[in-house]
Structures are given as structure tokens and as C-alpha cells.
Structure 1
Amino acid sequence: MRVFFNKETHLAFEKFKEIIDTKELIEGSKKHAEYLALQNQINPHFLYNTLEGIRSEALIEGIDSIANMTEALATFFRYTISNVDKLVNLEAEINNVKNYYKIQQFRFGDKLELNMEFEVKDYEEILQWKIPKLTLQPIFENAIFHGVERKIGKGILTLKVSATSQRLIVIISDNGVGMEEERVKKLNQKLRGATLEYMKEDGGEKGIALLNVNNRIKLIFGDEYGIYIYSKIGAGTDVEITLPFIKD
């Protein structure tokens, strides 16, 4: 016996399938987050106390470079470990990027440079707009290890913040080795919608990566927001992050 579906039944079936797929996506994201939390489980107080102990010993011995390094690490871990699932203001995310840059300078020295540009009318107000925690730093991490670290000469990282009447736009640029056109195309295809692909590749080995950040943005705000990549071999990479204006 054949069963025929009219247009309304077909649309209802497609809607139901979409709901099921979305539920599976959210559940999969939750399980992966729980896995990462267990994998990276650490006693924060033990970590902070250990780093503070190293810093104190370094100050006593007059080794300021080690003291500064451990202080930067303690600040970075304190921000990263606590309340990852919340929204924070843009200022907190930028401060975390500055601290991360300070840590990387111990490795790269003068080879690494960080610039910040704000093309906005009200600088102080923009800094208070909310974005998902750990949105910016993972992309800077990608820019360093997949872009500027592989090039000869000085690596320049740039954070550019601009805004429209309804959106916050953040562009993170590097002058690194860049990517092939086909690689950029494939990445942007994956970034079009919320996906669990980040569990299989970039994010799995390199921590909270570009696909993971994009996934969190889309699950929170919707598919019209997220990440888009522009890149050419030898010309560096631009990662554009589009977010809604949220103050509270």
C-alpha cells in the first residue's frame, strides 16, 4: 500500500526532522562540553597557589621575567577555567587577549606584535557589550600557530572592532602564511551553520578552536551570526566575527 503525502504533511515532516536534528546537535554539544570539562579537570586553587608560589620565589631571587610570566599565566587560567558558559563584556575578552599576548611574548619576543583598532563612535560603551566568553583568544591562538609562527619575519596580529546599528563586528587579522582558496572555501562551508564537525578535527587536538567558537555563537544567537574567513596564500588571514548588540 502506497502512502501519499500532501504539501502540508511534507512541510510538517521536514519541520519535525529539523527539530530532531537541532535537539541532537544541542545534546551532542553538551556532551562534548562535559567531556572537555572532565578531560581538562583541574583544581583551580591548587593551580593558582602553585603559580603564586613560583612567582614569590622568583621575586625573592630577583628573576622578574619568571615572576611576570607566572602572574600572566595565573590570570589567564583564572579567566579561562571559571564560568565558560556565560556572556562577558567585550572589555574582559580584550583584556584576556592582551594577557595571552603577554604570555606569547615570552616565546616569540619582538617577532610578535599586537595592534588594536576601534572604528566606533562610543569606545567606552562598545566595551560593555556582551559576547560569549572565550570568543577572541582561541582565534588569536589559531592566528599565531597556523599563521605567523610559520612565516619568516615579524608576525603582526590586529584586532579591529566596528559596529553597525544592530551588530558588533570584530575582525582578527594576521600577516601569516595564509591559506589556499580551496581550504578557505571548505572552512566557510562548515561555518555556515551550527555543526558538530569541530568535535572531529581542529577543536579536538588544538583546544577551543575556530569551529567550536562559531558553533557556540550560532547556538546562542542564531545562524545569521558567526564567523567568516578571508585568506590568501602569502597574504595572511582575516577572521570576521559578527555578533548582535547585547548590553544586558
Structure 2
Amino acid sequence: MNKDRNFLLDNIKKWVWMILMFIILLLALIGFAATTIPSYKVVLVLIVLAFFLIVYIGYISVYLRYRQMEKLLQLYTEGYFVDDFFEQDIKISKTVSKVLELLSDRLDKSALLNVSKKQAQYLALQNQINPHFLYNTLEGIRSEALCAGMDGVASMTEALATFFRYTISNVDHLVTLEDELSNIENYYIIQQFRFGDKLSLSIEYDDDGDDLSILNLKLPKLILQPIVENSIYHGIERKIGKGNLRIHIDYTADRLIIRISDDGMGIEKEALDKLNNKLLTNSLDDMESKKEKKGGIAIINVNNRIKLIFGEKYGIYIYSTQNVGTDVEITLPIIKE
């Protein structure tokens, strides 16, 4: 607001000075003309001067700005980025500069959100096979397993098919918390086939049955599964003995708080501080980095999506102690169905 007010005051001052200079010049001409030229000629001269002044002001305020915008649009169609405009030999007004800065910010956020969505799907699928073919194949395996009396294989295959079907649908949509938790339960069944009794999962929430049902609250799709996967592969898998996963859900008047905890190996303090610093902001460079570990990308991806959709005050923060475990806290706005 202060910038807008200062910009407006600067423009007003500029136009006031121009008008004052014109009035002073006009009075000087009138004084000179009144002593040497007949009155009707004075009026004619003033009319001509006023006409040329109006044309000049119109040229400065309209045509030059139009040419400026035309040149910028030409550069944009030639493939220049918005940030490149400021490096060109073009005089850009404060108004146009402000518009370009806003446009650049919007384009950066749009690009980052698109990268986040693509990586969310990629990290969940991990390959480029036809998802419908995969789903139909899994259903066929499940049927064969049931006929052969292999109930364990049938259950795991059903969970895998349901998990893939959920993953391949539109990631843009908000889903209910109940949908996300169901996806986690299917993912857990799949992981049990590998880890067996070494892995346990508990989901805790307090649903009082009032007007706000916690299971009907909305959140972005594929928010929880990458965090749970990260907890298993970077925390529990390296642990000797049984590992426990716990998802605790709570809410306040305006926030949904989901805490995913594991009693795995934990994170070193230096690495934890570095990761939390990255989570404070969203960055396209971090999203496109090939050097970042898969677990880091998954968490940064989820965090970026949350911040881009809901704002900087929401997102992820991590608490961890080596050889004790890790808590990943996700903060979201309350969105009712």
C-alpha cells in the first residue's frame, strides 16, 4: 500500500509541476502579447499553443507507453522471459515494471506448482507403464489367487490395484481426509507383504461427531503417502527390530494438523536443520535437482504444493532425534466439504 501511495504522489507531483510550468509560460506570453499584439490574435495564439500542448501530452502519456508495451510483447513472443525484460535497453515506467514483477511472480509459482504435481505422481508410481493395463492385470492376479485359496496374495493384490487406481486419477483435486487415510491403509497392506510383523501402523483422531467431521475435511491429494513412504524407507527399514508408524490427526478453529511419527533411526541434526530451512520456502531449483535424495524430494514436493495452494503459513516442519525417531508435522487450513 505504501508503494502504491508513493507512486501515486510522485505522479501527482509530476503533473502539478507540468501544469504550473504551462501556466507560468502562458501568463508570460499573455503579458508580452497584450502590449504588442491585438487581443484576437492573442486568443488565436493561445488556442494554437493549447492544441499543441494537448497533442504533446497525449503523445507522451499514451503513444510512448503503447510503443513500450508493444516492444515488450514482441520480446515475449520471441522467447524472452519476463525477468529478461529488465536487462533490455528499454525504458520501463514504474507502473509497467510493477506489472512485470507481479507477472513474473505468478509465472514462477505456476511453473513450480506444475513441477510439484508431476513429481507427486512420479514418486508414487516410479515408472512409465500403462496404469490401466497394470490395474486390470492386478485384478486378474487377484481373481486367480482367490481361486487358488491364496487369500494373502489376493488381499495384497487388491490393495495394490486400489492404490494405483487412486494414484493415477487427477492430482489437482482436493480429496477428503478419509480418502487419504484409506490410501495409506492400502499402502500399508502392500508394505506388510514385504516387512511382515516388523511394521505396525496406528491412526489416531478425535471425531466428536459434531458439525465438523474430521474425516470430511479436504486436503490436496497424495499428501500423506510420500511422507509415510519416507518414514518407512529412511527410518524404520534401517532399524533392527520392529518399527512403529503413528498418524495422529488434530484440528483447531482454523487449522488441520497431521503428525506422522516413526521410531526409526532419526535424522542427524545438521541434515535436519538443512531440510527444515528448505521447507521454510518453496524453490523450483530444489524441485528439479537430481542430486537431492529421493526422501528429501518427496517431502519438499509435498511442502511446496501445500505452500503454493494455501500460502506460506502452511506446510511441513520436521522434529527428529537420532536413534529415537522422527515426527513430520503437516499444517493445513480447515476446508469443509
Bin for the TM-score computed over the shorter chain: 0.7 to 0.9
From 192, 201, 211, the equivalent of 2:300 is: 211
- Work out whether residues 90 and 130 of structure 1, in 8 Å CA contact, stay in contact via their aligned partners in 2: yes
- What does the per-residue CA deviation read over 1:108-134, in whole Å, with 9 as the maximum and x for residues that have no partner? 111001012214544870100000000
Residue 172 of structure 1 pairs with residue 256 of structure 2? no
Residue matched to 2:70: none
How far apart are 1:14 and its partner, in Å?
Answer: 8.0
* Comparing 116-125 and 142-151, the one that deviates more: 116-125
- What does the per-residue CA deviation read over 1:170-228, in whole Å, with 9 as the maximum and x for residues that have no partner? 00000000001111111111111222213215878469711101111111100000000
Residue matched to 1:44: 131
Matches within 5 A, 1:116-155: 116-119=203-206, 121-122=208-209, 125-155=213-243
| RMSD, matched Cα | 2.8
| Residue identity opposite 1:53 in structure 2 | G
Residue 198 of structure 1 pairs with residue 306 of structure 2? no
What is the DSSP-based 3-state SS (H/G/I as helix, E as strand, rest coil) of the residue aligned with 1:156? strand
> Which structure is larger by alpha-carbon Rg, 1 or 2?
2
- Work out whether residues 175 and 220 of structure 2, in 8 Å CA contact, stay in contact via their aligned partners in 1: yes
Aligned-partner Cα distance in 2 for 1:50–1:173: 34
- Work out whether residues 120 and 222 of structure 2, in 8 Å CA contact, stay in contact via their aligned partners in 1: no
How far apart are 1:241 and its partner, in Å?
Answer: 0.3
Residue matched to 1:75: 162
Aligned-partner Cα distance in 2 for 1:149–1:201: 23
Aligned-partner Cα distance in 1 for 2:119–2:224: 22
Residue 236 of structure 1 pairs with residue 325 of structure 2? yes
Residue 63 of structure 1 pairs with residue 186 of structure 2? no
Aligned-partner Cα distance in 2 for 1:42–1:218: 30
- Work out whether residues 120 and 302 of structure 2, in 8 Å CA contact, stay in contact via their aligned partners in 1: no
- What does the per-residue CA deviation read over 1:12-65, in whole Å, with 9 as the maximum and x for residues that have no partner? 868954652442242244256458869854433311211111112222222222
Aligned-partner Cα distance in 1 for 2:135–2:129: 11
Residue matched to 1:3: none
| Residue identity opposite 1:107 in structure 2 | R
Go from structure 1 to structure 2 and tell me whether the alpha carbon gap of 1:229 and 1:110 turns closer, same or farther (over 3 Å shift). same
Go from structure 1 to structure 2 and tell me whether the alpha carbon gap of 1:136 and 1:16 turns closer, same or farther (over 3 Å shift). same
Please list every run of 5 or more consecutive structure 1 residues that lacks an aligned counterpart in the other structure.
1-6
Aligned-partner Cα distance in 1 for 2:203–2:176: 17
Aligned-partner Cα distance in 1 for 2:132–2:151: 23
* Comparing 123-132 and 102-111, the one that deviates more: 123-132
- Work out whether residues 168 and 245 of structure 1, in 8 Å CA contact, stay in contact via their aligned partners in 2: yes
- Work out whether residues 148 and 177 of structure 1, in 8 Å CA contact, stay in contact via their aligned partners in 2: yes
What is the TM-score of this pair, normalised by structure 1?
0.86
Residue 103 of structure 1 pairs with residue 187 of structure 2? no
Structure with higher strand content: 1
Aligned-partner Cα distance in 1 for 2:120–2:331: 26
- Work out whether residues 119 and 301 of structure 2, in 8 Å CA contact, stay in contact via their aligned partners in 1: no
- What does the per-residue CA deviation read over 1:53-99, in whole Å, with 9 as the maximum and x for residues that have no partner? 11122222222222111111101000011111110000000011111
* Comparing 140-149 and 78-87, the one that deviates more: 78-87
Residue matched to 1:23: 107
Structure with higher helix content: 2
The count of aligned residue pairs is: 241
| Residue identity opposite 1:223 in structure 2 | E
Residue matched to 1:84: 171
What is the DSSP-based 3-state SS (H/G/I as helix, E as strand, rest coil) of the residue aligned with 1:173? strand
From 305, 313, 330, the equivalent of 1:224 is: 313
What is the DSSP-based 3-state SS (H/G/I as helix, E as strand, rest coil) of the residue aligned with 2:222? coil
Go from structure 1 to structure 2 and tell me whether the alpha carbon gap of 1:125 and 1:32 turns closer, same or farther (over 3 Å shift). closer
Go from structure 1 to structure 2 and tell me whether the alpha carbon gap of 1:37 and 1:88 turns closer, same or farther (over 3 Å shift). closer
How far apart are 1:158 and its partner, in Å?
Answer: 0.3
Question: Which is bigger in relative contact order (C-alpha 8 A, separation at least 6)?
Answer: 1
